[in-house]
Chain A
Amino acid sequence: MEVTLWEFIWSLLLGIGFGISLQKAGLTKYGTIVNVFRFKDLAVIKYMLAALITAMPLIFLLKDLGLITLTNINPTYIAGNLLGGLIFGVGMSLSGY
């Protein structure tokens, strides 16, 4: 185990929160995921953008107050990110996860 006890407890609780929000938004259903690609049900986009616009200002506020540091920012390598995204979309559309 590479986690401390508190890290374990918080990770589990945060994961539970994550799972509840996914289920309540209906993102555990095949139809919800695929219908966003058919422009019939935009729940996925609404969900993602609502999460982003909530988190973004809070994070940069906390960062500027010096309460958190952003250490794990995902590296950018355009070919990998783009190709990964394209194949990810294929998998998401097929399986509906």
Chain B
Amino acid sequence: MDWIIEQLKKEKWSPYAAGVFLGIVNVLALVLISKPLGASAAFAKFTSYVVKIFYPSALHQMYFKFVMPPGINFTVVVVVGIFIGGFISAKMSGDFRWRMVTDQQWIQIFGPSVWKRWGIAFIGGLLIEWSARLAGGCTSGLAISGTMQLAPSGLIFIGGLFAGGIITTFLVYGKKY
């Protein structure tokens, strides 16, 4: 127990160690709840639930009827857990801070404007969630949970992710790349 607390108080683990830990968590998910872990579906699932309350006529649409019927399923709980886990981890290592603009690197490239950060984060988040539903999963649900079960879709997604990310970063950063 002391050892666990000591590890949690560290600011950072080696990415290899954290990755091995995530791998074990993913295997445990298959053993304990017979489902691969994912994150992005939770947001669509929860949206579907909100739609059911405020705009029930939209439930007849194909998407909410067959792909994402409303409800709170395990993946919503997992996302709540991710939030709590991240909070605990940041708190214990003393890394937790309230900030409007995330990072020194962001300020160097885009300036200190809060609106710019929040606007771009919103657009980026929109693209992430929409494309995750298009591809059938996100970095956790498809790239990790899919690839570890040797699904070709996971590897195709990883290829696309890095191609899209490298090109965009190259264009956005320009001379600072």
Contact = CB atoms under 8 A, between A and B. Distances in A.
Interface of A: 1-3, 7-8, 10-26, 28-31, 34-38, 43-44, 46-56, 58-59, 62, 67-78, 80-97
A34 B171 CA distance: 13
A26 B93 CA distance: 12
Closest 9 CB pairs of A and B: A15-B81, A85-B160, A19-B85, A84-B135, A89-B164, A50-B19, A95-B124, A54-B23, A91-B127
B27 A62 contact: yes
B171 to A, nearest CB: 9
A14 B32 contact: yes
Q: Is the interface of B mostly helix, strand, loop or mixed?
A: helix
Contacts of B106: 30-31, 96
B163 to A, nearest CB: 6
Given A12-B81, A19-B85, 7 more contacts: A1-B71, A37-B166, A51-B148, A84-B131, A86-B164, A89-B166, A96-B102
Contacts of B147: 52, 56
B157 A81 contact: yes
A86 B160 contact: yes
Interface string B81-95: 111111111100101
A46 B15 contact: yes
B5 interface: no
A87 B152 contact: no
A43 B167 CA distance: 19
A59 B148 contact: yes
A91 B160 CA distance: 12
B172 interface: yes
Contacts of B169: 34, 37-38, 93
B121 interface: yes
Interface string B146-177: 11111111101111111111111110110001
B61 to A, nearest CB: 19
